[in-house]
Amino acid sequence: MSSIYQELKHECYEANMQLNALNLVIYTFGNVSAVDREKEVFAIKPSGVPYEDLKPEDIVIIDFENNIIEGEMRPSSDTKTHAYLYKNWKEIGGVAHTHATYSVAWAQAQRDIPIFGTTHADHLTADIPCAPPMRDDLIEGNYEHNTGIQIQDCFRDKGLSYEEVQMVLIGNHGPFTWGKDAAKAVYNSKVLEEVARMAFLTLQINPEALRLKDSLIKKHYERKHGKNAYYGQK
Amino acid sequence: MSSIYQELKHECYEANMQLNALNLVIYTFGNVSAVDREKEVFAIKPSGVPYEDLKPEDIVIIDFENNIIEGEMRPSSDTKTHAYLYKNWKEIGGVAHTHATYSVAWAQAQRDIPIFGTTHADHLTADIPCAPPMRDDLIEGNYEHNTGIQIQDCFRDKGLSYEEVQMVLIGNHGPFTWGKDAAKAVYNSKVLEEVARMAFLTLQINPEALRLKDSLIKKHYERKHGKNAYYGQK
Amino acid sequence: MSSIYQELKHECYEANMQLNALNLVIYTFGNVSAVDREKEVFAIKPSGVPYEDLKPEDIVIIDFENNIIEGEMRPSSDTKTHAYLYKNWKEIGGVAHTHATYSVAWAQAQRDIPIFGTTHADHLTADIPCAPPMRDDLIEGNYEHNTGIQIQDCFRDKGLSYEEVQMVLIGNHGPFTWGKDAAKAVYNSKVLEEVARMAFLTLQINPEALRLKDSLIKKHYERKHGKNAYYGQK
Amino acid sequence: MSSIYQELKHECYEANMQLNALNLVIYTFGNVSAVDREKEVFAIKPSGVPYEDLKPEDIVIIDFENNIIEGEMRPSSDTKTHAYLYKNWKEIGGVAHTHATYSVAWAQAQRDIPIFGTTHADHLTADIPCAPPMRDDLIEGNYEHNTGIQIQDCFRDKGLSYEEVQMVLIGNHGPFTWGKDAAKAVYNSKVLEEVARMAFLTLQINPEALRLKDSLIKKHYERKHGKNAYYGQK
């Protein structure tokens, strides 16, 4: 049966299947959404469905006030966090959440991931932020909505731009990532996991390892994202 | 040839093959059983048979007093532990035992796995218990039966419910897990292994890492298992 | 073309291919041999041949004095070590050598692998020995032959039986393992690698981790290898 | 359409695909080139193209002054480093660059990789050098060209021969490797990654681990690369 959201559901489905193919999740631990800015809705994985059983038509369509617009299934339990991010950060096209091992380990350690090298600087110029645990009254309240606020507050407190820094760790929980579309959000989840693993190993080898110096951060970020970028095809 | 236990054997066979597919075992290191509460028997892997050679008809049927009810092969050397758990914990439908690497490492370190994050709290609200090594006279006695007692004692001493905490580490040995059926027991073995790996990495990154706070433990456990759970499909 | 060693070559070929399938080697890092005690020869991998190119007919037949009996190719550079072990340890049917990562790490650390758990005790009752580096004059001499002596000396100094302890680490080099046939030698290489990984993680989690107590070592070894063993099929 | 560089492009394409098959890269993180010494050009991966999309005809042909000789696509952003190495080190036939995890971790830790064992000594007799970070004015200048200078300076300062030591870590960045052809450069990237992982684990097990002694370094290097080498086929 046709739906005006068919293409959006398909984008969302494909991105969710990538989480699995990239070894970023086991079982049902993770979810990706994709937004349609014109229609002001997003498509998201249904809750608790194993990736091997997931079908494009299972994807649920939600508006920014968390109303189900289309779909038979219950959406991801993290849906309100996605809605909050789409509503407040206008340039985001996709959001991903995983429990990828090294990303979760840094989140559980409640540590920002220091920028130790060019792999990191190829993607962002700041340490990867770890948002502190939420206040108890917010946890007992509208938890997933408040997770959105928690992310936004963290970016405000640290003076970060969500357009440059497309990833965050939620203390004691795990990573959220985003990007221009759902595929880019998943890409950022994979990059984060790899950078988290490299940083872990770096500190094991040299507990006194220094952050990358500013000139190298700038050089690598600019050659990929700056005005005169020369990485990739035109 | 038909057997009244055919379905039970098949459930057990499938669950054992999952151990292998999920990279929880090498060679013959592990076993899963499935119970039939009405018939008061359980089906278990034969001892020392490689997973690639295992066939559903090899599965052995055992009663709660450890008598072989059906089957040509010798059952798993850990059979008496399974029997003890089925006999004493009436709500269990399946039991799994592995030598999965990170789970074994915590068991060898004789440490409970601290609850560091929501991945853990999505499944249970307590640290994953590590039962202390058995007394020498019990080891020299009915060892596998006594391993069952050791598990039960550990839960009594720590005030844990086997219905909530569906996993345990046996000090210096490895994990046992259980659940409503054999598939759930295997699921819990995989979750335990992943949580064990995350906790190991967390302590490497931050040796002073704190346990997850109570409000977050409660929130995550309740949203998946509480009266008003909203994780998964209805 | 037929050879009286065809079966032996095939056993050797299959065991070498297992090294690769079990992720114990990259490129050409490793070799397995299989002995024929009646004919007093063994079959061994040719030197430096990638596993994907290896064919059964490439396998070289060697006698215990290191003469090539059959085969066009140069045998493994470690051939004299194999010959020494076959000549001196009469009950060995196969020998394997790898550069598997965790085994090599313990060898490079020049540390015996402590017996921390039942996974280890299911296979042997002693710490896995690490032979100290060879004297300089022996290195400059008949190096691979002397590696055989080094292994034998290590077992004599530590009072170990090669029939029970079927594995050794050569300090700064890597593991040699053996067994009743080539397949068992490879099995022991895989078990060693897994035990090495578990022991590494155990010490990371608890640097004060204790060796498994004697009663448990005995219980686990005996239930698999003792007179009244009840592990596996009769 | 035929090109006089078809064979060179194919060699380059195959070597780049190996990077991916050997798990040395994720996404577009890495590049390999192959040189034609007679024509004084090299073939290199186009920038930012995923390996699954890469085709032999996408490969770009460059001369030693960094002019594009053939090809529609923008070459790797690291092209000038490759050009510098080909121009200055006349015996090199291929160059590879990756962001392989353990190699990067050592680079981020700014540590040479100590020669701890024979796996290392089978390939080179020195610690694997880590070039210190570049001066700020050089970073802001012709960065990728200067990376070539940085590598050459490092080898001069440490008294190393590029013909023996076919690998380097760039501090805070990652590895470059080379060899007689592109396939050998990739082989060296894989060996480096494995040696980096072994050395990391060695130091975790024994922080006081000693370098391999000179007699063993010499023995292992010579038996593979010396005048009377007896490793491999003639």
Measured from the Cβ of residue A137, the count of other Cβ atoms closer than 10 Å reads 9
pLDDT above 90: percentage of residues in chain B: 96
pLDDT in tens, C113-170: 999 999 999 999 999 999 999 999 999 999 999 999 999 999 999 999 999 999 999 9
Q: Are A53 and A40 in contact (CB under 8 A)?
A: no
Q: Are C231 and C220 in contact (CB under 8 A)?
A: no
Q: Which domains does chain D have, with CATH numbers?
A: 6-225 (3.40.225.10)
pLDDT in tens, D166-186: 999 999 999 999 999 999 999
Say which of C77, C173, C204 has its CB closest to residue D204. Answer: C204
Sheet holding C94-98, edge to edge: C68-70, C60-63, C41-44, C30-36, C94-98, C174-179, C167-170, C130-131
Q: Are C13 and C7 in contact (CB under 8 A)?
A: no
Rounded average pLDDT over D104-132: 98
Q: Which amino acid is at B41?
A: V
Burial-class residue A50 by CB neighbours within 10 Å (0-12, 13-18, 19+): exposed
pLDDT in tens, A167-200: 999 999 999 999 999 999 999 999 999 999 999 9
User: What single DSSP character describes residue D23?
Assistant: T
Contact A212 D139 (CB under 8 A): no
pLDDT above 90: percentage of residues in chain C: 97
Q: How far is A40 from chain B (nearest CA, A)?
A: 24
Best CA proximity match to D61, nearest among D1, D2, D12: D12
Contact D74 A190 (CB under 8 A): no
Q: How far is B66 from chain A (nearest CA, A)?
A: 34
Q: What are phi and psi of B191, to 5 degrees?
A: -60, -45
User: In whole angstroms, what is the distance from residue D176 CA to residue D182 CA?
Assistant: 12
Q: How far is C116 from chain B (nearest CA, A)?
A: 6
Q: How far is D216 from chain C (nearest CA, A)?
A: 7
**Token pair recorded at residue A132:** 């502190």
Contact A134 B216 (CB under 8 A): yes
Residue-wise over D127-140: b if at least 16 C-beta within 10 A, else e?
A: bbbbbebbeeebbe
**Token pair recorded at residue A138:** 């917010």
Measured from the Cβ of residue A184, the count of other Cβ atoms closer than 10 Å reads 18
User: In whole angstroms, what is the distance from residue D33 CA to residue D148 CA?
Assistant: 14
Please compute Rg for chain B using Cα positions: 18
pLDDT in tens, A82-118: 999 999 999 999 999 999 999 999 999 999 999 999 9
What Å distances lie between residue B73 and B61, D124, D203, CA to CA? 10, 54, 46
| Residues present in chain B in total | 234
Contact D219 C139 (CB under 8 A): yes
Residues of B in contact with C206 (CB under 8 A): 109-111
Best residue in D113, D208, D215, D222 for a mutation probing chain C (most C CBs within 10 Å): D215
Q: What are phi and psi of D6, to 5 degrees?
A: -55, -45
Give the chains touching C; criterion: ≥3 Cβ pairs < 8 Å: B, D
Best CA proximity match to A222, nearest among A135, A75, A123, A127: A123
User: Which chain C residue has its CA at the smallest distance from D222's CA?
Assistant: C140
DSSP string, chain B: ---TTHHHHHHHHHHHHHHHHTT--STT-EEEEEEETTTTEEEEPBTT--TTT--GGGPEEEETT--EEE-SSPB-TTHHHHHHHHHH-TT--EEEEE--HHHHHHHHTT--B---SHHHHTT-SSPBPEEPPPPHHHHHSSHHHHHHHHHHHHHHHHT--TTT--EEEETTTEEEEEESSHHHHHHHHHHHHHHHHHHHHHHHH-TTPPPPPHHHHHHHHHHHHSTT--SS--
pLDDT at A15: 98
Contact C216 B134 (CB under 8 A): yes
pLDDT at D1: 57
User: Is pLDDT above 80 for C234?
Assistant: no
What Å distances lie between residue D231 and B200, C41, C77, D122, CA to CA? 41, 21, 6, 10
Rounded average pLDDT over D202-208: 98
Q: Which of A36, A122, A153, A181 is flagged as catalytic?
A: A122
User: Which chain D residue has its CA at the smallest distance from A203's CA?
Assistant: D109
**Token pair recorded at residue C134:** 């060879």
| Residues present in chain C in total | 234
User: In whole angstroms, what is the distance from residue D30 CA to residue C232 CA?
Assistant: 48
Contact B205 A105 (CB under 8 A): yes
A interface with B, Cβ–Cβ < 8 A, is 26-29, 46-49, 73-74, 77, 99, 101-102, 104-111, 133-134, 136, 139-140, 143, 172-174, 200, 203-204
Give SS3 for C100: coil
| Residues present in chain A in total | 234
Contact C47 D233 (CB under 8 A): yes
Per DSSP, helices labelled H in chain A are 6-21, 79-88, 101-108, 118-121, 136-140, 143-158, 182-205, 214-225
With cut-offs at 50, 70 and 90, classify the pLDDT of residue C102: very high
User: Which chain A residue has its CA at the smallest distance from D45's CA?
Assistant: A232
With cut-offs at 50, 70 and 90, classify the pLDDT of residue A234: confident
pLDDT at A200: 98
Q: How far is C51 from chain B (nearest CA, A)?
A: 22
Segments of chain B scoring below 50 in pLDDT: none
Residues of C in contact with B132 (CB under 8 A): none
User: Which chain C residue has its CA at the smallest distance from B135's CA?
Assistant: C215
User: In whole angstroms, what is the distance from residue D80 CA to residue D77 CA?
Assistant: 8
C interface with B, Cβ–Cβ < 8 A, is 116-119, 187, 190-191, 194, 197-199, 201-202, 204-206, 209-210, 212-213, 215-216, 219, 223-224, 230-234
Best residue in B113, B202, B204 for a mutation probing chain A (most A CBs within 10 Å): B202
Q: Which amino acid is at B179?
A: G
| ipTM above 0.85 for this complex | yes
The contacts of residue B119 (CB under 8 Å, 6+ apart) are: A29, A99, A104, A174, B194, B195, B198
User: In whole angstroms, what is the distance from residue A33 CA to residue A66 CA?
Assistant: 13
Say which of C187, C212, C223 has its CB closest to residue B172. Answer: C212
User: What single DSSP character describes residue D194?
Assistant: H
Contact C111 D215 (CB under 8 A): no
Rounded average pLDDT over C55-74: 97
Per DSSP, helices labelled H in chain C are 6-21, 79-88, 101-108, 118-121, 136-140, 143-158, 182-205, 214-225
Contact D201 C203 (CB under 8 A): no
pLDDT at C137: 94
Q: Which of B63, B112, B122, B153 is flagged as catalytic?
A: B122
Alpha carbons within 13 angstroms on the beta-carbon side of residue B173 total 26
User: Is pLDDT above 80 for D212?
Assistant: yes
Residues of B in contact with C234 (CB under 8 A): 74
User: Is pLDDT above 60 for C1?
Assistant: no
User: Is pLDDT above 80 for A1?
Assistant: no
pLDDT at B234: 73
Contact B26 C216 (CB under 8 A): no
Contact A74 B212 (CB under 8 A): no
Say which of D201, D209, D231 has its CB closest to residue C77. Answer: D231
| Residues present in chain D in total | 234
Residue-wise over D26-64: b if at least 16 C-beta within 10 A, else e?
A: bebbbbbbbbbeeeebbbbbbbebebeebebebbbbbeb
User: In whole angstroms, what is the distance from residue C183 CA to residue C95 CA?
Assistant: 9
Measure CA of the first residue to CA of the last residue in chain B; give whole Å: 39
Best residue in B101, B191, B201, B234 for a mutation probing chain A (most A CBs within 10 Å): B201
Average pLDDT, chain C: 96
